[in-house]
Amino acid sequence: MMVIGKLLSLLIAGLPAIVVAANGSGIADADVTTSNVVKLSAPDGSARATFVKTGATLTHFWVKDKHGKFRDIAIGFDNLTEYETAESGTLYFGPIVGRYANRIRNGKFTIPISKNASGSGKQFQVPKNTNNGSDTLHGGFDGYNTRTWEILARSTNSVTFTLVDPDGKEGFPGFVFNTATYTLEHDSNFKISLRAWATEKTPIMLSGHHFWNLEAYQESEDLLSHFVQFNSSRFVATDGKLIPTGELTSVENTPLDFRKAKSIGGSINDTAVAEYCGTGCVGFDNCWVYDNVEKTPIFSVWSTNSGIKLDITTNQPALQIYTCNGLDGTIPRKKEQGGPEATYGKHSCLVIEQESIIDAINNPEFGVNQIFGPERRYEWEAVYRFSRLT
């Protein structure tokens, strides 16, 4: 209890702006903190969103298309109790992922970090829940996506979720106090702020694992009309199990070159020969390093069918894109997306994760410090700006 009290004191002393921004007074709304569901609306009515406490998960997101009609462009379930099931935990539909997002080679790391946990530092073993039990994905079997977050504060357009991650949970050292703040602002701006404070040195890498289809499946069931552009000349090279090798590879003359806008759906088949998303895989499941993180926006995607465009700014140095390669048509879509008769199929949506360079805790050559602790807090910021093509 003393540890939790100390972490709460850090929150109050270090980030009062988050709480004030959440409801204007810093006092949580008792009527909503007991509910699992939070509904938000932008002050000008330009966007609406729904969240659940399980995983601090985004379940619905409505913005206007080129005709001025709202579409729910977030992939997920209509029945919100589905997010509490074991199946949902393995799908990662819309939650915050952590304590360490993406993959960890052999489920091992050292502090200080070393190449493939081979150094003389203290070694830690975390659960291996991917690649047939050989590596770790998104924090282990009971990552942040499956846990119940509490509501610290909220208003009609903003909510702050909190999660205390115990010392030793899933093998990670130190208590970590986490906050995730979602805010809907004017002009369909969606702001996400993630913060974490640890009592001991520990790796932390968080991200929002949100699935999108900017058409809400109304015109098509693929990504051919989705065009993507971002400035990155290098991607993280991985082996057949998507574990980083430590190399950063040029995107030149590869399907992973999005420095000029192109259809991401139209590029999927081009990935087959080199198996960029793993052995036997077709599609994208890759991490790119931004050339200039100060660029605004740093990432853009739009649908020529719906006219919905998303521009992202962030303080994160890298980006992971996943083109729903593993969806097999067995999960019913939301009603507004053609379900429950229609299902979510392969390559019909994409995940856009703003984050640090994946598995840098096993690749010191990346030059990224992902170890945080009492003297170094974790901060993640992104603004998703939705607009309409003219």
Based on the residue annotation, tell me whether 138 is a catalytic residue of this protein: no
DSSP 8-state code for residue 334: P
Of the residues 82, 215, 353, 355, only one is catalytic, namely 353
From first CA to last CA, the distance across the chain in angstroms is 55
Using CA atoms, how far residue 196 sits from 46, 107, 289, in Å, is 30, 22, 23
Tokens encoding 182: 């979602």
CA angle 203, 235, 132 (to 5 degrees): 60
258/264 Cα distance (integer angstroms): 9
Using CA atoms, how far residue 27 sits from 53, 57, 89, 197, in Å, is 18, 22, 31, 21
Based on the residue annotation, tell me whether 209 is a catalytic residue of this protein: yes
92/88 Cα distance (integer angstroms): 6
Tokens encoding 179: 């906050």
Question: Residue length, the chain?
Answer: 390
HSE-CB for 319 with a 13 A CA cutoff: 28
Using CA atoms, how far residue 372 sits from 30, 59, 168, 355, 365, in Å, is 33, 30, 15, 15, 18
The runs of H, that is alpha helices, within 65-186 are 86-91
Of the residues 60, 138, 209, 210, only one is catalytic, namely 209
Written as one letter, the residue type at 29 is D
Catalytic residues: 209, 353
